[in-house]
Homo-oligomer: A and B are copies of this chain.
Amino acid sequence: MSDLNANFKKAQQAFTAIKSKTVAEKAAFLEAMAVQIENIKSELIPTASKESNLPDGRITGELGRTLGQIRLFANLVKEGSWVEATIDHADPDRSPAPKPDIRRMLRPLGPVVVFGASNFPLAFSTAGGDTVSALAAGCPVIYKAHPAHPATSKLVAGAIRDAAQKSGMPEDIFQHLEGGISVGQEMAKHPMAKAIAFTGSYTGGKALFDTAAAREEPIPVYAEMGSVNPIFAFESKLSQHLDALATAYVGSLTLGVGQFCTNPGLIFVPESKADAFSKAVAEKIAAVSAAPMLHDGIAKTYKDRIATLKEKDKLSWVHAATASELTHGSPALARVTAADWISDDAFQEEVFGPFGILVSYKNTSQLVQIADSLKGQLTCTLWAEDDELAENVEFLALIEEKCGRLLFKGAPTGVEVGFAMQHGGPFPSTSDSRSTSVGVYAIKRFARPVAFQDMPERFLPEELKESNPLDIWRTVDGVLKK
């Protein structure tokens, strides 16, 4: 705890120093970060690949995504309008009382604690989306490395601190800590922490949420805890594209050994097509080899969870997991009727890995019951013809209440990084459905509004100065303008 105190004091000092930096300086730091990470690419890729059991190609792609994210936030900061600058001008002649001048904008929260994820050693880890969006908001980050990829994490941490040094930022804008669950809990409890970001299991995320809520000063927790991302296949759509949809499903289910938070662990198909679809899926799954999972702990949990489900009488097995190697994840698919699925919450718990449950439903009115029972999800996917959607508007409205992203084509894996992405859904998929951990809006998690009333012009932040020196979009007397 005494060491942590020192870390948080350094973070707070860095925070004070960052606050006096210009928008251009903040953006330059993020750009330098991308450059420094790219510079260590030849060492980083094999290290991350070795530590995560993920192939070089996947890691190379993930690095590209990571650098893309950093540059997206650099541009967002440079453009500057994300702060929601809002100005209500004074009216000294207003009766009965003069109207003051009020100027509001988003300001950084302070030191942010970030936890890395095992399944994205780069894009959701050390210099991942949480870290970058917090830094972009102007918050220093105290980062707890994921124990599954310590060398990768250290390499990236060094690059971030190099970038800080090269761009005139305090090095302690980013601090890299290692340790287990208890260290993480102490970080979350520290009085100087102002927000927490986490990607991982429900158990881990909920423990942080509870800790943060029990603090003397509760702080926001952005925990992305994963979900089962149901796909709802409608009869007419499925009849016309059965083989293609089976291919799409198996591709998404087994991508990256199923180790994605958007992995479609549930698929609902009409009873009339369930046998045919199930057969097609089984054939395609049989062609997918078992592959090494991120680490042995995850592989063991995957096997244990499937073993537990095997004790459920209501499940039949379309394809049982077959891997002989203990470290490997082998695809598996079980089947259950909708009525049985509704009756047991265990069937909507996430099994992290390439495992899915195919649920056969009787008719579309049963879909409404399913939607009623469904817990909060990162994504839901509807495979339906337009006229099937039109006939099921009640279901459509209900299902929207259960997810953060609603897809009508393709599969939920593959989360685009951009402006419109929403990666965060109702509890328990995330702890705060009002936020996203992917895309530009992620920056808003680490800021809060401050209003300056009758502040002398020379002391106003550049975003709020009358002449709009940054040329940002602002709401002035109720009108959005530059």
A16 touches B406 (CB 8 A): no
Stretch of A239-247, A304-312, A411-419 contacting B (4+ beta carbons < 8 Å): A411-419
Tell me the residues in window 382-425 of chain A with beta carbons closer than 8 Å to chain B beta carbons. 386, 389-390, 394, 396-398, 400-401, 403-410, 414, 416, 418-422, 424
Question: Which of B398, B406, B456 is A452 in contact with, Cβ under 8 Å?
Answer: B406
* Given A406-B451, A436-B449, also A459-B419 (CB < 8 A): no
Tell me, in angstroms, the Cα distance from A448 to B406 when the chains sit together: 14
Cβ of A480 within 8 Å of any chain B Cβ, yes or no, is yes
Copy number in this complex?
2
| A 173-221 contacts with B by CB, 8 A | 209-210, 213, 217-218, 220
Residue among B104, B397, B420 making CB contact with A420, cutoff 8 Å? B104
Q: B453 touching A405 by the CB < 8 A rule?
A: yes
A469 at the binding interface (Cβ < 8 Å): no
A428 in the interface (beta carbon within 8 A): yes
Check A330 for interface membership: any CB of B closer than 8 A: no
Q: Which residues of B contact A104 (CB under 8 A)?
A: 419-422, 441
**A434 in the interface, Cβ–Cβ < 8 Å?**
yes
B220 lies within 8 A of A434 (CB): yes
Given A400-B107, A420-B104, A427-B218: A407 in contact with B88 (beta carbons within 8 A): no
A456 touches B420 (CB 8 A): no
In the bound complex, how far is the Cα of B440 from the Cα of A239, in angstroms? Answer: 49
- Counting CB contacts under 8 A, is A4 at the interface? no
Query: In the assembly, what is the distance between CA of A20 and CA of B404, in Å?
Result: 19
Q: How far is the CA of A84 from the CA of B473 in the complex (A)?
A: 14
- Residue A55 lies at the interface, judged by CB distance under 8 Å to chain B: no
A86 interface contact, C-beta 8 A: yes
| Given contacts A396-B459, A431-B218, A448-B434, A453 and B407 within 8 Å (CB-CB) | yes
Judge whether B480 and A81 touch: CB under 8 Å: yes
Contact with B along A448-468 (1 / 0, CB 8 A): 111111111011000000000
Encode contact with B along A77-116: 1 for CB under 8 Å, 0 otherwise: 0000100101110000000010110111001011000000
Q: Are A16 and B397 in contact (CB under 8 A)?
A: yes
Is A478 located at the chain interface by the 8 A CB criterion? yes
Check if A88 sits within 8 Å of B420, measured CB to CB: yes
- Give the residue name and chain of the B residue nearest to A438 (CB): B451
Does A475 make an interface contact (CB < 8 A)? Answer: yes
Contacts A403-B450, A427-B218, A454-B407; is A86 near B419 (CB within 8 Å)?
yes
Residues of A within 8 A of B (CB): 16, 19-20, 81, 84, 86-88, 97, 99-100, 102-104, 107, 109-110, 209-210, 213, 217-218, 220, 376, 386, 389-390, 394, 396-398, 400-401, 403-410, 414, 416, 418-422, 424, 426-428, 431-434, 436, 441, 447-456, 458-459, 473, 475, 477-478, 480
Beyond A406-B450, A420-B475, list 17 extra A-B contacts (CB 8 Å): A16-B398, A86-B441, A88-B416, A88-B421, A100-B407, A102-B416, A102-B418, A104-B420, A110-B401, A218-B431, A220-B432, A386-B459, A405-B451, A407-B453, A418-B478, A421-B451, A434-B447
29 intermolecular pairs with C-beta atoms under 8 Å apart: A16-B397, A16-B398, A19-B397, A86-B441, A88-B416, A88-B419, A88-B420, A97-B414, A102-B420, A107-B400, A109-B433, A110-B401, A213-B213, A217-B426, A217-B427, A218-B427, A396-B459, A404-B449, A405-B451, A406-B452, A407-B454, A408-B452, A419-B475, A419-B478, A420-B451, A436-B449, A441-B449, A473-B480, A480-B480
